[in-house]
Structure 1
Amino acid sequence: MKKHSARVAPLSACNSPVLTLTKVEGEERPRDSPGPAEAQAPAGADASGRTSHPCWRCSRAQLKKIFWGVAVVLCVCSSWAGSTQLAKLTFRKFDAPFTLTWFATNWNFLFFPLYYVGHVCKSEEKQSVRQRYRECCRFFGDNGLTLKVFFTKAAPFGVLWTLTNYLYLHAIKKVNTTDVSVLFCCNKAFVFLLSWIVLRDRFMGVRIVAAILAIAGIVMMTYADGFHSHSVIGIALVVGSASMSALYKVLFKLLLGSAKFGEAALFLSILGVFNILFITCIPVILYFTKVEYWSSFHDIPWGNLCGFSVLLLTFNIVLNFGIAVTYPTLMSVGIVLSVPVNAVVDHYTSKIVFNGVRVIAIIIIGLGFLLLLLPEEWDVWLVKLLTRLKVRKKEETAEGGADPGSGPQGKSRRARPSFAR
């Protein structure tokens, strides 16, 4: 019986790309004990005695994983870029970023029910909802999800979740979606800096360079708009949102560690419950104080609100559970690809000016983002690759030098004097 022991970190904010700094292990599948026919079969042969090709099987599995990776990349890119553009479109008729944040976060309640449906369809050992819930509650401790645990381990993350999304959505009102999406990619650099200081993670020079590039890109992005107050406030809101997202991720790793798929789904559903119980009063207050006011409920673009929430829910589902079918790095690539998608949409729908400074800033931040995706052992792999190339070059040089002088004819050739001028 196969057990799912993959552990993920549900580090996504509702409207933010999840870039897990922790190592996430894939689905561990223990090998079944070989049968008598397999035990008698020679190496490189299957149970029927026919010779199989393990390299082909390996490459076939890798191709399957890459195929799923492409599908996940497209899903992440489209849902992330689509939610950002739809939020911008929603604010034209419904100028209420906090209410939109609250409405979208309520949909997090669907995480655990959707996970349980997948568990029933896929798992060989069927469990009731109560049994599965109790098993997932062990993530919070031996006593499960108590009232004290709810307020000490779930409520702070609910507050950070809300702040991350509200600052991000409020920034969309100030600046274009291209700048917002590319600046939010700096949260990966903030995660590295915080984890290096707080969690004492391994120091990597290339990630320090990436963090410097991210900060330089933020400054250049501000300079691209001429340091106008409107754009400076918008950029500050995005940087604040990225900082809240990074703090969310580092605190999660510090306090809770990592979670299995069911535990992650339960945690995200709990954030939705916290939002319904304790954050609902804030949109009500904003409505009656006319900070976020709308004349009637018929004027609310419910289609845009629901579409925005569905895209974000899809984004978070794919990003939190996509590691079961593909590599985590490919999912991060999907987030980077959303930047040019937003740029193309902004080019045809808004008055954005892609001057040289803005383009360089986007490239710098994107380069820093990609550098942060390098694995911890990248330098070891690079040294091994260079060493292997050197050895191969020496062997080829030695073989090339030995060919002309090999055999008796070569020796007689070298013995003869040359009279050529």
Structure 2
Amino acid sequence: MNVTYQAPFFTTWFVTNWTMLFFPLYYLTRLSNRRCESIFDILSESIRDFRDKGFTAVRFMTRCSLFCILWVGTNYMYIMSLRILPATDVMALFATNVSFVYLLSWVILHEQFVGIRIMAVIICDTGVALLAYMDGITGSPTLGGVVLATSAAAASAVYKVLFRKVVGDATYGQVALFFSLIGMLNAAFLWPLCLGLFLLGTETLHWETLPWPALLAASCLSLVANLLGNFSVALTYDLFITLGLITAVPVSAALDVVLYDASFEGMKLAGMILIAVGFFLVMFPDNWPDYITRLLRNIILLSHSQAF
């Protein structure tokens, strides 16, 4: 009997387990720089940093549990949307999380109001609406896929903003410990959901037919992506890391065209373009009018100097 693999929650659970490797990998990095430190010294240093910020053991584990649920929920909705929409569509929709991050940062973190970013949010929402109705209103699962992908983007934004609100400026050791605990909590407490969904027949999961190569590859790539997203700030600017969200869309589109003969036209193409425009507008600096004023002033001075 040919049994297909249909287990999005198990996939999410399996991939999330790999975040337990964050702290061991961080320890190996520290060990290569300072050979005299033990893993207990580095662990106690990270715990002390949390204690200095007022975290008790109960409060810390409660926060970790909350972020674990947010993390798993985000990835589950992302994977579910991939069952309905092409990867390029999902990645474009997920890139809208920068607009959600700005809105939540404005409301929760009281960051500066920037009018052009509000315009960017509206443009992103318009792009999402075009993608939602690109296949019509009735008889198409596209709307459900768009809702799932956009919800994943919103949940990702909630995670990022709440992390800044609750933890603040975290050290690399704190981030590594936090992610490892998320992986441990996921492995320890969410496996009954995998079993329950299998027993209820909601997910099709058979040991003999598990796509181990795909699961292992997805887990490794997810771990690498999260490591780069959280630790590469030490090597480059945070702006460049964020730009990776939108630059991955044309790469994915090229692969979809080559591998699956996908086409990008009409409302789909317009929606992706609007999301990209909104993405770049959100990334504008707070004092962008000053940069434009300086640029215009330099252009005028240059033209005057050339005239004389």
TM-score band, normalised by the shorter chain? over 0.9
Task: Please identify the structure whose Cα radius of gyration is greater.
Answer: 1
Q: Does 1:346 align with 2:259?
A: no
List runs of 5+ in structure 2 lacking aligned partners: none
What is the identity, as a one-letter code, of the residue corresponding to 2:8? P
Letter in 2 for 1:127: E
1:116 aligns with 2:116: no
AA aligned opposite 2:216: C
Is the CA contact 1:137–1:144 (under 8 Å) kept in the aligned structure 2? no
Whole-angstrom distance in 2 between the partners of 1:192 and 1:333: 15
Alpha-carbon shift at residue 389 of structure 1 (Å)? 3.1
Is 2:177 the partner of 1:266? Answer: yes
Structure 2 counterpart SS, 1:259: coil
Q: CA deviation at 1:133?
A: 0.5
Output aligned runs, 1:28-177, within 5 Å: 93-123=4-34, 126-142=36-52, 147-177=57-87
CA contact (8 A) 1:346 1:352 kept: yes
Change (3 A) 1:311 1:93: farther
Cα distance per residue 1:253-280 (max 9 Å; x no partner) = 1111121112111111111111112111
Describe the SS at the equivalent of 1:216.
helix
Letter in 2 for 1:289: L
Q: Do the aligned partners of 2:90 and 2:146 also contact (CA within 8 Å) in 1?
A: yes
For 2:301, the equivalent position in structure 1 comes to: 391
Instruction: Name the structure, 1 or 2, with higher relative contact order (CA <8 Å, separation 6+).
Output: 2
Residue aligning to 2:109: 199
RMSD: 1.9
Deviation at 1:143, TM superposition (A): 8.8
Alignment partner, residue 360 of structure 1:
270
TM-score, L = length of structure 2: 0.93
Partner of 1:289: 200
State the one-letter code of the partner of 1:320. Answer: N
Q: How many Å separate the matches in 2 of 1:306 and 1:97?
A: 15
Q: CA deviation at 1:243?
A: 1.1
Deviations 1:217-271 (A, max 9, x none): 0111122111344111111111111111111111111111121112111111111
Counterpart residue number, 1:326: 236
Say whether 1:180 aligns with 2:90.
Answer: yes
Query: Any conservation in 2 of the 1:140–1:149 contact (CA below 8 Å)?
Result: no
Indicate the structure with greater helix content: 2
Secondary structure class of the residue paired with 1:237 = helix
Name the amino acid aligned to 2:36: K
Greater CA drift, 217-226 or 301-310: 217-226
Distance 1:127 1:250 in 2: 33
CA distance in 1, matches of 2:80, 2:147: 11
Separation in 2 of the partners of 1:143 and 1:365?
Answer: 38
CA distance in 2, matches of 1:285, 1:250: 32
How far residue 93 of structure 1 moved from its aligned partner, in angstroms, is: 4.1
For the 8 Å contact 1:154–1:270, the answer to whether it is kept is yes
- Give the total of aligned pairs: 305
The residue identity in structure 2 corresponding to 1:247 is V
By how many angstroms is 1:376 displaced?
2.2
Report the CA distance between 1:375 and its aligned residue.
2.2
Secondary structure, counterpart of 1:336 in structure 2:
helix
For structure 1, the residue ranges without an aligned partner over 5 or more in a row are: 1-91, 401-421
Query: Cα offset for 1:351?
Result: 5.4
> Would the aligned equivalents of 1:137 and 1:145 in 2 still touch at CA under 8 Å?
no
Indicate the residue corresponding to 1:371 in structure 2.
Answer: 281
